[in-house]
Amino acid sequence: MPEIKLRARRGAARDALAANVSEVAPMERTMVAPAAREGAAGDLETVFDLRDVTVSYGGRPAVKGVGMSIARNRITAIIGPSGCGKSTLLRCLNRMNDLVPDARVEGEVLFHGEDLYAPDVDQVDVRRRIGMVFQKPNPFPKSIRENIAFGLKVNRQKVTDERIEQVLRRAALWDEVKDRLGQDAFSLSGGQQQRLCIARAIAIEPEVILMDEPCSALDPIATLAIEDLMRELAEQYTIVIVTHNMQQAARISDRTAFFTVAGTEEGQRFGVLVEYDETIKVFQAPADPRTQDYVTGRFG
């Protein structure tokens, strides 16, 4: 069995994995190479370290007891059925839950070893360093250029034609918009708007980009363009993506965290982390039967 290095999966091997998802039962697939398993132990730099994290709304836990670490310059996918707390967990990585009334985060969320929720941490700075892209493209009702200029200004950078071009190139949008920078952002297609939002996030020069179902409002071709972009961006940024699309998780991510809904005898229901490992392992040889049921489509 040849060794599969993490980087090797960025190409054809990962596409083959994505194509196989939910078509072949995990046990019938080949075993995961040893290198993939060792990588799961975490020989990469840790950006986030979550320890026993519980997020509640109005005293009711939405996701409970999560422990996981997120590696630098990798794409980490969060998957699981609707309502298992994927978005809730994502939002606690840049303190977006602070904006939700009644939301409470317990446990520890460490960012480069520092408590992200310490009283002296500046929330605005946190959201500058840890950017977010949402499900529905949300450009400002301004020109394409002004959307990027906004990001540059947040980062106190000079707005020059060169910087605008550089950012739009990095978001793989330049060729499509270079002759219409003054046009309204809403004149773009949905996929282009989403890449513009990614460009605006990049202009702020974050270290991490959180993406909450960024392709769910897009057609398959626009989705592939965003996925290609994500793979390119992972060279420079740490990306955490929530997706309900398992093929997408298999295609683009290095690590996958599978959540499901658990409950108490009293009828309380909340999300729990079931399995977190190299993506290839989660999809080809999951350790937990609940993961296996989900990735093979036996879960409603």
- By C-beta, is 61 or 151 nearer to ligand ADP? 61
To ligand ADP, the closest distance from the beta carbon of 58 in angstroms equals 7
Residue in 82, 113, 161, 221 binding ligand ADP, rule: CB under 6 A: 82
Show Cβ contacts of residue 22 under 8 Å, excluding neighbours closer than 6 positions: 246, 247, 295, 296, 297
- By C-beta, is 87 or 94 nearer to ligand ADP? 87
Read out DSSP for 72-129?
TTSEEEEE-STTSSHHHHHHTTTTGGGGSTTEEEEEEEEETTEETT-TT--HHHHHHH
Q: What is the DSSP letter of 186?
A: G
| Interacting span for ligand ADP (CB under 6 A) from 7-15, 81-89, 147-155, 222-230 | 81-89
Residue in 54, 87, 192, 284 binding ligand ADP, rule: CB under 6 A: 87
Task: Name the amino acid, one letter, at 92.
Answer: C
Cβ–Cβ < 8 Å for 3, 37: no
Count of residues engaged in binding ligand ADP, rule: CB under 6 A: 11
- By C-beta, is 6 or 96 nearer to ligand ADP? 96
Tokens 């972009």, residue located: 229
Residue in 65, 83, 107, 190 binding ligand ADP, rule: CB under 6 A: 83
| Interacting span for ligand ADP (CB under 6 A) from 11-19, 21-29, 75-83, 133-141 | 75-83
- By C-beta, is 104 or 153 nearer to ligand ADP? 104
Distance CA 87, CA 93 (A): 10
Distance CA 109, CA 294 (A): 27
Helix and strand numbers (H, E) in the chain are: 12, 10
- By C-beta, is 163 or 244 nearer to ligand ADP? 244
Question: Which residues between 231 and 250 bind ligand ADP (CB under 6 A)?
Answer: none
What number of other Cβ atoms are within 10 A of residue 8's Cβ? 15
Residue in 85, 139, 206, 214 binding ligand ADP, rule: CB under 6 A: 85
Residue in 9, 74, 86, 195 binding ligand ADP, rule: CB under 6 A: 86
Helix, strand or coil, per DSSP, at residue 297? coil
**19: contact with ligand ADP by CB under 6 A:** no
Question: Which residues between 97 and 136 bind ligand ADP (CB under 6 A)?
Answer: 100
- By C-beta, is 58 or 119 nearer to ligand ADP? 58
Residues paired with residue 82 on neighbouring β-strands, in sequence order: none
Cβ–Cβ < 8 Å for 37, 290: no
Residue in 62, 105, 199, 202 binding ligand ADP, rule: CB under 6 A: 62
Distance CA 294, CA 300 (A): 8
> Which spans of this chain sit near ligand ADP (rule: CB under 6 A)?
57, 62, 80, 82-88, 100
